[in-house]
Amino acid sequence: MRILVVLPSTSPSDRGPATLGPRAAILKNLRSMNTQPECDGGDILYGPGIEFQLAPNQDPVVQMILVVSDEDIGWLVIERIGRTLKWKFVDINTGDELVLSTN
């Protein structure tokens, strides 16, 4: 199992820290990629081989934890999400940023 931190790919501005976006938009975007909570209002979103852990009641969302439970399936999903939503993923054990394929 691998654990990553999900961060925005943009830098903070004078108006405050960069965010991943409004919670409702994140839920909508991830739902379109087959990743969603088990029940409405849930803070853990489940997808193929992955789960996102959101901080309770945080809006806008600054960062999330991503747990990769099935590496064979999860990496394809992570790459699609990262490219589509322009998020970056950092390994919590090494501090290395995940490099997404350019295909």
Q: What's the rounded mean pLDDT across residues 88-101? A: 89
Which residues, including other chains, have CB under 8 Å from residue 24's CB and lie 6 or more apart? 59
pLDDT tens-digit readout, 3-51: 999 999 876 665 667 899 999 999 999 999 999 999 988 999 999 999 9
Please give the model's pTM, rounded to 2 decimal places.
Answer: 0.88
**Radius of gyration of the chain from its Cα atoms, rounded to whole angstroms:** 13
> What pLDDT, on the 0 to 100 scale, is given for residue 24?
95
- Looking at residue 84, its pLDDT comes to 93
Residue 67 clears pLDDT 70, i.e. is over it: yes
What dihedral angle (degrees, nearest 10) is formed by the CA atoms of 72, 78, 84, 86? -150
Q: Where does 30-74 show beta strands of DSSP type E?
A: 36-37, 44-47, 50-53, 64-68
- If pLDDT is split at 50, 70 and 90, which confidence band does 100 have? confident
